[in-house]
Structure 1
């Protein structure tokens, strides 16, 4: 997995979206990032760990290529980019769910 700078991550993410527009998908994960690269020490062992404030680890993958970056929570460019490319989502069909439950009873 490649850890990129914020600007280069945005351009690579746009390329992934364009490449997977016709076929394929892009998986995006977002989780809180506290700045640690090593595990937390056990009890009784001193640790000099100071958490980073309000950071998120953003990962994207198309199955072949994986990219990631660390983002502060004040950046809004990522949310705008994601909203622009989420037009291919399908709505949940409520009728098929109710038919399956009736058929099993």
Structure 2
């Protein structure tokens, strides 16, 4: 069950959650515009005296398991809250791991080599019988594998295109 807290308690509990998950664990933070049940979803033209609706911001925190709490921030309190919230986030996110760019580069190069190998045609040469027959057989097997991988890649691409075309 999600627990609704005031701003100060929310920030204190969030700081405690960051402290408890310093060694391991994840924390999910979400920000959403709060819409009440049955309220109109459209913004702008309908609403208050000056023609604009005032929607509070809902800030949620969870560790994915037992800890779940949130707070609502009205637009007139938003700047003050974000100042305190931003300060807390900057202070708490010092233990983030740096990206391993060397490993990412190696993986990108490996993927590029695989794609290049898949697109380069395999040349089948050599005698069908006698010396060099085994070499020719390996080349034929490699050509068959390459055709199969190209066919599978084409199917995946078509499925992805069909999925993106059907998505709104």
> Aligned runs of 1:1-105 on 2, under 5 Å?
1-31=2-32, 33=33, 35-39=34-38, 41=40, 51-52=53-54, 55-63=56-64, 64-71=66-73, 72-75=77-80, 76-104=83-111, 105=113
Structure 1: runs of 5 or more not aligned:
43-47
Q: 1:58 to 1:95 in 2, by over 3 A?
A: same
Instruction: Indicate the structure with greater helix content.
Output: 2
Q: Runs of 5+ in structure 2 lacking a partner?
A: 114-168
As a proportion of its length, which structure holds more strand?
A: 1
What's the C-alpha RMSD, in Å, of the aligned pairs? 2.3
Q: TM-score of the superposition, structure 1-length normalised?
A: 0.75
Distance 1:77 1:41, change over 3 A: closer
Instruction: Tell me the secondary structure at the aligned position of residue 28 of structure 1.
Output: strand
SS of the aligned residue for 1:86 comes to: helix
Question: What TM-score results when the alignment is normalised by the length of structure 2?
Answer: 0.50
Please state how far the C-alpha of 1:18 moved relative to its aligned partner. 1.8
Point out which structure has higher relative CO (alpha carbons under 8 A, 6+ apart).
1
